[in-house]
Amino acid sequence: MERIVILAPNAFNYIENKTGNMLLRYRPKEVVAVIDPEKAGQTAEQVIGWGGNIPCVASFNETISYSPTQLVIGAAPQGGILKDNYRNEIKDALLAKCQIISGMHVFLKDDNEIFNLAKKMNVTISDLRRSPNPPHFPKGSWKNRKFPVMLIVGSDCDTGKMTTAWELVLALRRLNRKVEFVGTGQTGILLSGNGVPIDAVVSDFMAGEIEYCLDQLPDNTELAIVEGQGALNNLLYSGVTLGLLHGSMPDFLIFAHEPGRKIDVANHPIPDLEILMQNYIDLMKPFKQSKFLGLNFLTLKLQNDLAIETCNAARYRYDLPATDLVRFGGKDMIETIQKELNEWN
């Protein structure tokens, strides 16, 4: 078992430490510490509400007593620039012979100082956002695919699409379904060991890379769940979303949304969810009749009663299962998916 230190200097919070937070949720037994000088002395549970007694420390050197084997960059610095506080912690980890796993847009293997130190210490660096080379162009293999594909879509960035996908994978696997996960961001790839960093792929090849990932899945796959990115209505990342849609050619969709969020990360109003959901269906109509199987809400900021009321209201309005998979589970949603899989031919 790995002994992971998460690097999130001044960024250990709900939004910026996305990769680190998912490790704390899904692989807590492997995480030994989180580096954030601002949160030093606290526990992960105290900071984000999960992660138990995993400690927050000020520097990598304070983690030596935990015998770490990996340093995972949990929060990527904005602008893709490797700041000094990140660089210094990475160098200390290399000197301690820790493997480095990075999801940053800037590649650590291309940084001469870090690459040479890693080579000297005989340590591996993994740049999760490095795109495939040579790239893959779409071939239209979806027309002959033997299993259904589910894509997680949503109303904005950071609405829980990766969490939705992973929760569904875990739930269906517990029922002995042969479900495969295709990660499209650094977090999903790190958790599953499978996928492509779609936002690092040249736009002409986005659809082809997702198609290629699906083509490599085992013949006995019953369902492939593809992690979504961005949103069609998000002017910053809609191109990535559309590439994912056309690459995966989904039969089924799940919609992820944070209730109460009226303005997206591009500072633009979020349209009515019914309009957004129809947009996804309409874009698939030239190829196939896709359909939604449910909605998953990120209700972290809501009191329990309001969260339940929100899910119930959506269930009534859309006539679909609606829940917060992390908070309430997803019995109805899983039953709906199971029914579709049983009828698939």
> 314 with 213, same domain?
yes
Residue 229 lies in a domain: yes
Round to whole Å and give the CA distance between 16 and 125: 22
Give the per-residue pLDDT at 79. 64
Round to whole Å and give the CA distance between 193 and 216: 13
Strand order in the sheet with 56-57: 56-57, 31-35, 4-7, 70-73, 99-102, 125-127
Residue 136 lies in a domain: no
Decide: 225 and 165 in contact? Cβ < 8 Å.
Answer: yes
> 92 with 161, same domain?
no
Round to whole Å and give the CA distance between 103 and 49: 24
Decide: 166 and 191 in contact? Cβ < 8 Å.
Answer: yes
Last residue of a domain, one of 75, 100, 127: 127
> 98 with 207, same domain?
no
Residue 78 lies in a domain: yes
Q: If you search the block for the tokens 């650094």, which residue do you land on?
A: 186
Round to whole Å and give the CA distance between 228 and 162: 7
If we measure between CA atoms, which residue out of 107, 238, 225 comes closest to residue 170?
225
> 170 with 233, same domain?
yes
Decide: 328 and 295 in contact? Cβ < 8 Å.
Answer: no
> 274 with 183, same domain?
yes
Round to whole Å and give the CA distance between 151 and 165: 8
Strand partners, 254: 152, 294
Give the per-residue pLDDT at 239. 96
Residue 191 lies in a domain: yes
Residue 135 lies in a domain: no
**CA distances for 329 relative to 34, 67, 154, 193, 335, angstroms:** 28, 35, 19, 25, 12
Helix H or strand E encompassing 282: helix 273-284
> 86 with 148, same domain?
no
Strand partners, 181: 225
Residue 271: DSSP 8-state? P
Per-residue pLDDT of the chain (345 residues; tens, 9 = 90+): 899 999 999 999 988 898 999 999 999 999 999 999 999 999 999 999 999 999 999 999 999 999 999 999 998 776 667 889 999 999 999 999 999 999 998 999 999 999 999 999 999 999 999 999 999 999 999 999 999 999 999 999 999 999 999 999 999 999 999 999 999 999 999 999 999 999 999 999 999 999 999 999 999 999 999 999 999 999 999 999 999 999 999 999 999 999 999 999 999 999 999 999 999 999 999 999 999 999 999 999 999 999 999 999 999 999 999 999 999 999 999 999 999 999 986
Round to whole Å and give the CA distance between 76 and 277: 30
Residue 163 lies in a domain: yes
For 224, the token pair is 């492939």
Residue 132 lies in a domain: no
Give the per-residue pLDDT at 76. 76
Residue 183: DSSP 8-state? B
> 159 with 274, same domain?
yes
Decide: 177 and 110 in contact? Cβ < 8 Å.
Answer: no
> 20 with 94, same domain?
yes
> 228 with 267, same domain?
yes
Helix H or strand E encompassing 226: strand 223-226
> 105 with 170, same domain?
no
Give the per-residue pLDDT at 78. 67
For 284, the token pair is 């698939």
Residue 50 lies in a domain: yes
Q: How many domains does the chain have?
A: 2
> 102 with 186, same domain?
no
Give the per-residue pLDDT at 188. 95
Give the per-residue pLDDT at 345. 63
> 117 with 199, same domain?
no
Decide: 261 and 222 in contact? Cβ < 8 Å.
Answer: no
CATH no. for residue 151?
3.40.50.300
Last residue of a domain, one of 101, 127, 153: 127
Round to whole Å and give the CA distance between 10 and 85: 10
Last residue of a domain, one of 127, 155, 189: 127
Query: Between vectors from CA 311 to CA 310 and to CA 315, what angle results, nearest 5°?
Result: 120
CATH no. for residue 31?
3.40.50.720
Domain, as residue range, for 17: 4-127
Maximum pairwise Cα distance, the chain: 61
Give the per-residue pLDDT at 105. 87
Round to whole Å and give the CA distance between 4 and 63: 10
Ramachandran area for residue 195 (φ above 0: left; ψ -120 to 50: alpha; else beta): left
If we measure between CA atoms, which residue out of 116, 273, 123, 105 comes closest to residue 200?
105
